[in-house]
Structure formats: structure tokens, C-alpha cells
Structure 1
Amino acid sequence: TMADAGLNKYLFEMANIRNHDSWVHSSDPAMATEKAKDLVRMAVAKVALLEPLPEPELSVTRRALVLGGGVAGMTAALSLADQGYPVNIVESGAQLGGQALRLHSTWRGEDIAAFVEQLRQRVNAHERITVHLNARLSQVEGFVGNFKSVIQNGAEPVTVEHGVAIIATGGREWKPDEYLYGQHPGVLTQLELDEKLRADDPALAQAKSVVFIQCVGSREPQRPYCSRVCCTHTLQSALEIKRRSPDTNVYVLYRDMRSYGEREILYQEARRAGVLFIRYSLEDKPKVTSLDGTLTVTVTDHILRRPLVLSADFVTLATAVLPNVDEALAQLFKVPINEDGFLVEAHAKLRPVDFATDGVFLCGLAHYPKPLDESIAQAQAAAARAATVLARDRVHFPGTVARTNPFLCSACGTCVAICPYSAPRFNERGVAEINPALCKGCGLCVASCRSGAIQLQGFDDAQILTMIDSL
């Protein structure tokens, strides 16, 4: 409203009586009224000292960088390229496709291999997309609208200037160290079973018994998260085995079946097809043994409360989904990683595909485990958000950023070391200056500056102290 009236929007101070007062003190109106007076008094004291702040602006480089050449990365790249923006894809592997190359079909029965091949052909044929295979990022500089990245994919590094970046580095399945995996050829992961299904392995058709074990490596103390896709994947594989060989006994050993949404239909179909579900607890996990090459699975039935011994030709392990992103890559773009290694969005509800670092977006398994259709939807969302930056001629930066007084700076370097966004740097005169395009106004440098050379515009010492005095 102030901007529409021709006033600088930073000449505004809000006394938030609703959120900070009436909602939290609804049971004591008298005290809430006194607090409201205090809040108004403090706001009036501060607004008298506010100054108009400028908003720096810079031109936008209308090019995107996509990290990861899986389904999510290719979808995001195609979405931006079809809108007219050049895109560079950085893929660490020798071919595009990612983990989807190893999948058999979606839970609806759609052919994933054909879909991935179609995506790859579109990407390789697109005139606005440049693909870098067997490549990695070694350096990133700049800020939203004006990034400069160095790609290593051979002897000569390639420097790319881009306005936005989308991180879609994907994930991988965990290789377990239990249930005789790696010790017996009949113990497989879900992706390894998919490979046998795609190849029409005759051993599967001849199998008399197949056992699936859920939550291998996930929902445990070292990885407390649910990998989401495992239950649906198991139901789909179990039904496919039953379809090919109805007489094969199929058992699913589970802790909780989480085939959410319409995927519940698969569970109902599996029950009707004769798939047997046996629940186990984390404290009493199944035991897989081998005698003369024959696999045996022992599990305690939760209804009979007695051990069951199952002979198995194959044991398939639903292992945890791990992210491919590493701390080095996250540090290049100054984006956060949670305790499980997945990237963290700026806000789960309001900015689900954004990072706190402007101009950087995320999608796919690098964010958290999700099925293929959700990865595609999130990739399209990330591309849409990235396009809002690329569509501009110039980008504006907030005025509430830190600013240094060069005459007071002692060049101690504390602000340079402590800033999580790398906004402060030493200039040619040897004193610290802050890049307003990188600063997020968090105030860490202000609080840590020993010489008082840094002030956060809109929250300087005089404004804060006058609010305290009025209170």
C-alpha cells in the first residue's frame, strides 16, 4: 500500500497485536490490553527513526543449471527449455535416466523404461539443452540471477553463467549388511528383483516361494524416516510374480503397510491373489539362514505368537532410500541438509520447492523419498518457480541487509567466517564489505562484530534501544 502511494515501504513498522498479543493472551484480556499498549508504544518509537532504504537491482542471466539427469532433472530441464530458456544439465553418471533405468513399471502398470527413453530422446534432441555427462560441479559463485558455476567433465573445466539452479541429484537404494545379502544369490534388493522381472528371468517363474522383508535399513534408529515407496513397490512386485506364476507362494513380512491413497487398491488385490502378510516387530526381526544353499526365513507370527519357518527361493529386501547429495554440493549453494542427508526446503507449506538461498530450487529424491509421479510433479513445480526468476529483466534485493562502516572495520574477519551465506568479503582496501544480493538480514555478523562496524538496516542500534527505552 505504501509503495502504491509512492512511499518507501521500509518506512513501515507493524505492531502485531493479533499474533503477539490477543491470540496468546486470550485468557487474560486486562494483561493483553497492557501489552498492546506496550507494543504500540515500541512501534511508534521505532518508526520515528526509520529511514527509506534502497533496493539494489541487477540484470538476470536467462539460463538455468540443473544438477542431476534423472527423471526429475530431465522433466525440470524440458519444462524450462520449452519455455525458451537455455538449460545445462550436469549428470554424474554416463547416461541420463538415474534410478528410473532400473525400475520395472509404475504401480499403475505403466512402462517406465519406455517413458525414460522418450524423455532422454527429447532432452538430447532439444536445441536449448546442453548435457554434461560424467560431470560434477567444482565451484559456484554469485547469487540469484547471476550465478557462475564451473563444471568438471574432462580435462578442461566448463564455466556456465546462469540465473537459477535446480538440484535434482536423486537417490539410491541402501545396500544392506543383514539377511545374508551379498552372501547368497537368492537374497535381492527390490531394484535387483526389478531387473529380473524385466529380463523375464526363468528362475522367478520356477520359484515355489518368494519372501519380501519390509523396512530394511529404514524406520530404525540410524534411519528413522520411512522411505515411502517400498510398500507400494513390494505389492506391485508380489502381484507381478503371482500374475506370472499363480502357484508361487508369496509372503510379505512387514512392520506397517503404507500403500497410501489409491495405492491401497494394490494391497486389496494382493490379498485376493493369495499373498500372505505377516507382521513383525523391530525387536523381533525375521532371521534368514541358509542350509546347503536353501534359504529359510524364520518370523514370529503376530497372531499365532509362535515362530513360522518359511522356505524361500528368493528373499527380496525393501531397503531404505538414500540421497545422492553430499555436503560439498550443498555448501556450494549454501543450502541445508537434515540429519538424514536430504535437502531441506525453505518452508514445507509456503515454499516447498525453494531454498532459503534465492534462485536455487529442489525436486526429486534429493528432497525426500517419493514415487515417480510425485517426483515429476515436484520437478514441474521447481521449473515453474525458476521461471518466475528467469522471466524478469532485473531482480530486486531486499533493503533490510547488513552494511559496514569501513572507518570502523578492524578487518578481524569474524563476519566473513560466521556468515552462512558468504555475504561479507574483504575488498581491495582490506576491509569487510557486504554483498547485498547475498545477505539475508539474519544479523549474525552484526552480533559478532567486535568493533561495531556493521549495522542491519531497519534494525540498527538506535532503533532497537529506543524500543527498549519506550518499553
Structure 2
Amino acid sequence: TMADAGLNKYLFEMANIRNLNSWVHSEEKDEATRKAQDMVRMAVAKAALLSPLPESTLPVTPVALVVGAGVTGMTAAANLAAHGFSVHVVEKEKDLGGMAARLHKTWRGESVRAFVDALKKEVLTHPKIQWHLGASLVEAEGFVGNFRTTIRENGSLHTIEHGVVLIATGAQERKPTEYLYGEHPAVVTNVELDERLQEDDPRLKNLSSVTFIQCVGSRDEERPYCSRVCCGHTLRNALELKALNPDMSIAVIYRDMRSYGVWEELYRRARHAGVLFFRYRPDDKPKVLREGDKLTIQVTDHILQRPVSWTTDLLCLAAATIPQDNRDLARLYKLPLDRDGWFQEAHQKLRPVDFANDGIFLCGMAHYPKPLEESVTQALAAAAKAVSILSRGQVIVGGLVSRIDAARCTGCGVCLEICPFGAIQRDEVARTARVLEALCKGCGACAAACPAEAPTLQGFTHRQMYAQIKSALAA
């Protein structure tokens, strides 16, 4: 309203006595009234000291950088290029496709390889997309609209100037250390079984018994999260094997079958096809014994409450989905990782593909384990958010940001260490700190931490805060 009236929008202070008072203290009416009086008095004291805050505009480099060339990265790059923007794609491997190139079919039975090949053909021939395969990121600096990233490619360094970053580094399948994996040729993972199905391995038709074990390396103390795609993957592969040989005996040993949403149809079809399901407890996991070319599986049946065993020709492990080693990338762009190594978005509901740092977006399995269709959807969402910045031509910075009084600054470096956004740098000439306003989010951590009160958060100056405190205590 103030901006529409031609006034500086920062000449406004709100005493929110509804959300912060009447709603939370509806049963204490007298106390709520006194609190409302305090809040209004504090707001007036601060409003008397408000001053207009300046904002400035900076140009946007209409170029995008996509990190990762799996299905998610390719989808995002194709969408950005379709909007007419130049795209640089950096991929550490020498080929495109990522983990999806090893998968056989989607839960609906569609060929993943055909989809990946068609997508590769589209993006490799697009004139707006420049590829950097077998490359790595070395250094990054800048802010929304004006990033500079240095990459190492073919032994040489060069710098890319771009306006946005899309993180699409994907995930990988954990290599199991249990159930004789790597010790017996009859033990494989779900992805390795996919590769055999893709190649039409004739040995699969001759199998008489196949066993799947779920939650191998996930939902435990080391990785407490659910990898989400494993149950659907197992059900899909079990149905594929049944289609090759309807007489094949297939058993699934599980903790909890989590066939998300419409994937429940796969579970219904598997039961109808004769796939057997045995549940196990975390403290009583199945045992796998070597029996020559075959394996013996032992598990306690949760209904019969007694051990059962059988021999199997092939044991397929639903191994955990784990993140790539994203620590260096997170450090370069100052991005948060959770305890398991997945990138964390700014807000699960309100900003699901954004980071707190403006101009950097997240998509696909770099975020958390998800099926292919969700990764594609998130790639399109991240690309749309990126386009909203690239198409502006300029970004607005300033307003509620910190500024440092060089006369007060002693160069102790506390503010550099505490700033979560990397918005403060050291001026090596003056030996003081300075704020990069385009990176500052106005959190006020530097102003609160500095013993000399050199940083001042505009709109929340020390003088304004002291005036509010004095007003609150004067009642």
C-alpha cells in the first residue's frame, strides 16, 4: 500500500497483535490487553526512528548452469533452452543419463532406456545447450543474476558467467556389504537385475526361484530414511520375471511394503501372479547361506512364528539409495545438506525447489530419493523458477540488509564466521569487513554477534532496538 502511494515501503512498522497476541492468549484477556499495549508502544518507538531504505537494480546474465546430466539435468536444460536461454551443463561423467540409463522400466512398464535415449538425442543437438562432460566445479562466486563458476575440463580451467544455478546431481545405489553380495555370483542388486533385463539375459528365463530382500542398508541407524523407490522397483522386477517364466517361484522378504500411491496396483498384480511375501523384524533379519551355485534363505515367518527356509537361484537386494558426495558442491555455493547428505530446500511446502540463496534451485534425487516421474516434474518446476529470474533482465537488491561501519570494525572476523549466506567478505586493504548486499538475507546474525556493533541491519538498527527495549520497560 505504501509503495502504491509512492512512499518508501520500509517506512512501516507493524504491531501484530492478532497473530502474536489475541490468537495465542485468547483465554488471558487482561494480560493480552497489556501485551497489546506494550507491542503498540514498542512499534511507535521504532516507527519514530524509521528512515527510507534504498534499493538498487543489477543486470541479470541470461545464462543458466545445470550441474548434473542425468534425466533431471537434461530435462531442466531442455526446458530452459526451449525458452531461448543459453545453458551450460556440467557433468562429471563422460556420458549423459546418470542412474536412469541403467534402469529397465517405469512402474507402468514404459522403457526407461527409450526415454533416456530420446532425451539425449534432443539435448545433444540443441544449439542453446553447451556440454561440459568429464568436468568438475572448482570455484564459484557471485549472487542471483550474476554468478561466476570456474570449471576444470580436459585439464584446463575456464569460467562461466551465468544468472542461475540448477543442482541436479542425482543419487546412486549403495553397494551392499551384507547377504554375501560381492562374494557369491547369485547375489545382485535391483539395478543390476535391471541391466540383465535390459540385455534380455537368457539365464533369467531358466531361473526356478528368485528371492528379493528389502531395506538393505536403509531404515537403520546409519540411514534412517526410506529410499522410497525400492518397493516399487522390486514389484516391477518381480512381475518382469514372472512374465519371462510364469512358473518361477518368487519371494519378497520385507519390513514394510511401501508401494506409494498408484504403485499399490503393482502389489495387487504381484500377489495375483503368485509372488509370496514374508515379513521380517529389524532385530531378526533374514539369513543367507551358501549352497554351491545356489543360496539358502532363512527367515522367521511372522504369521506362523517359526523359521522357514528355501533355496534360491538368484537373490536380489533392494539396496539403499544414497546421495552423491555433495560436500564440495555445497561448500562452493554455500548450500545446506541434511545429516544424510541430501540437499535441503528453503521450505518443504512454500519453496520446494529453491535454496535460501536466491538464484540456486534444486531438483531430482539430489533432493531425496524419488521415482523418475517425480524427478522430471521437479526438474520442470526448477526450470520454471529459473526462467522467472532470467526473463526479468534485472534483480533488485538492498533494503533490509546489513551494513558495516568501517570506523567501528576491528577486523576480528566474527561476522565472517557467523554469516550463514557468505555475504560478508574481508577488505584486505582496509583490514575490515564489508557486506555483499546481493547475498545478504537480513538475518541480523552479524549485528547480534559483533562486540563493537559495527554491523547494522537496516530497518532494525541498534538505536531502533534500544528504543523498543526502553519503551517495553517503561510500562
Tell whether the structures are fold-level matches, with TM greater than 0.5: yes
For residues 122-150 of structure 1, what are the alpha-carbon distances to aligned partners after superposition, in whole Å with 9 as ceiling and x for unaligned? 11100000011011100001000000001
Matched, 1:463 2:464: yes
Distance 1:155 1:237 in 2: 42
Q: 1:113 to 1:256 in 2, by over 3 A?
A: same
CA distance in 1, matches of 2:58, 2:140: 18
Tell me, in whole angstroms, the C-alpha distance in 2 between the residues paired with 1:149 and 1:347. Answer: 26
Match of 1:8 in 2: 8
Q: Secondary structure at the match of 1:9?
A: coil
Secondary structure (helix, strand or coil) at the match of 2:385 reads helix
Question: How many equivalent pairs are there?
Answer: 471
Give the letter for the 1:438 counterpart.
Answer: L
Question: How far off its partner does 1:418 sit?
Answer: 2.5
Segment drifting more, 245-254 vs 47-56: 47-56
Q: Distance in 2 between matches of 1:58 and 1:14?
A: 30
Q: Is the 8 A contact 1:169 1:325 kept in 2?
A: no
3-state DSSP class of the match of 1:56? strand
Match of residue 153 from structure 1: 153
Shift of 1:466: 1.1
Contact 1:78 1:123 in 2 (8 A): yes
Is residue 293–residue 313 contact of structure 2 (8 Å, CA) maintained in 1? no
Aligned to 1:219: 219
**Alignment partner, residue 439 of structure 2:** 438
The equivalences for 1:222-301 within 5 A come to: 222-301=222-301
What residue is the counterpart of 2:118 in the other structure? 118
* Contact preservation (8 Å) 2:294, 2:314: no
1:150 and 1:160 in contact (8 A); partners too: yes
RMSD across aligned positions (CA): 1.0
Contact 1:325 1:342 survives alignment (8 Å) = no
Letter of the structure 2 residue corresponding to residue 231 of structure 1: C
CA separation in 2, counterparts of 1:463 and 1:301? 68
- Aligned residue in 2 for 1:66: 66
Question: 1:398: how far off?
Answer: 4.0
Give matches, 1:28-427, under 5 Å: 28-427=28-427
Residues 355-374 of structure 1, C-alpha deviations (whole Å, 9 max, x = no match): 00100000000000000000
1:328 match: secondary structure: helix
CA contact (8 A) 1:67 1:165 kept: yes
CA distance in 1, matches of 2:18, 2:117: 55
SS of structure 2 residue aligned to 1:61: coil
Q: Which string of whole-angstrom CA distances, capped at 9 and with x for unpartnered residues, describes residues 89-145 of structure 1?
A: 001111000000100010001111111011111111000000110111000010000
**Is the contact made by 2:141 and 2:147 (CA closer than 8 Å) also made in structure 1?**
yes
Q: Is the 8 A contact 1:55 1:397 kept in 2?
A: yes
Question: So what's the TM-score if we normalise by structure 1?
Answer: 0.98
Runs of 4 or more above 6 Å deviation: none
Farther off after superposition, 400-409 or 181-190: 400-409
Q: Residues 190-239 of structure 1, C-alpha deviation per residue, up to 9 Å, x if partnerless?
A: 00000111111122111111000001111111101000000000000001
**Aligned equivalents of 2:155 and 2:91: distance in 1?**
16
Paired with 1:92 and 1:359, the residues of 2 have a C-alpha distance of: 22
| Alignment deviations for residues 343-389 of structure 1 (CA, whole Å, 9 cap, x no partner) | 00000000000000100000000000000000000000000001111
Which segment drifts farther, 363-372 or 285-294?
285-294
Secondary structure of the residue that 2:156 maps to in structure 1? coil
Unmatched 5+ stretches in structure 1: none
Instruction: Name the SS for the 2:55 alignment partner.
Output: coil
Structure 1 residue 293, shift from structure 2 partner: 3.0
1:267 Cα deviation after fit: 0.5
SS at match of 1:15: coil
Which residue identity does 1:437 align to in structure 2? A
Contact 1:170–1:325, Cα closer than 8 Å, also in 2: no
Structure 2 unmatched runs, 5+:
none
Supply the AA of the counterpart residue of 1:254.
Y
Partner AA of 1:433 in structure 2: R
* SS of 2:243 mapped into structure 1: helix
CA–CA distance in 2 between the matches of 1:47 and 1:187? Answer: 70
Q: Match of 1:158, SS?
A: strand
Identity of aligned residues (%): 56
After alignment, is 55-64 or 423-432 more displaced? 423-432
Deviations 1:379-415 (A, max 9, x none): 0000000111101121002411110111122222222
* 1:293-337 deviations in Å (ceiling 9; x for gaps): 320110100000001102110111101111114211101111100
Specify the code of the residue in structure 1 equivalent to 2:133.
L
Contact 1:170-1:366 at 8 Å conserved across structures: yes
Q: CA deviation at 1:173?
A: 0.4
User: Counterpart of 1:447?
Assistant: 448
Distance (whole Å) between structure 2 residues aligned to residue 88 and residue 39 of structure 1: 51
Q: Structure 1: which amino acid aligns with 2:431?
A: G
Residue 164 of structure 1: how far off its partner (Å): 0.2
Amino acid of the structure 2 residue aligned with 1:436? E
Q: CA deviation at 1:26?
A: 2.0
Query: Are 2:19 and 1:19 equivalent residues in the alignment?
Result: yes
Say if 2:186 and 2:293, in contact at 8 Å, map to a contact too: no
- Matched residues in 1 for 2:185 and 2:23: separation? 62
Q: Hey, what's the Cα distance between the residues in 2 that align with 1:424 and 1:199?
A: 54
Q: Is the 8 A contact 1:56 1:436 kept in 2?
A: no
Render the CA deviation track for 1:241-296: whole Å, top value 9, x for unaligned.
Answer: 11110000000111111111111111000000000011111010000110223201
Q: Distance in 1 between matches of 2:200 and 2:366?
A: 31
3-state SS of 2:259 partner:
coil
Q: Give the letter for the 2:17 counterpart.
A: I
Amino acid at match of 2:119: L
SS of corresponding position for 2:10:
helix
- 2:55 alignment partner AA: E
Shift of 1:167: 0.2
Separation in 1 of the partners of 2:75 and 2:441?
30
Q: Take 2:272 and 2:173, find their aligned partners in 1: how far apart are those partners?
A: 30
Q: Which amino acid aligns with 2:331?
A: Q
CA displacement 1:450-469 (0-9 Å, x = unmatched): 32211111111111111111
Whole-angstrom CA distance in 2 between matches of 1:185 and 1:216: 18
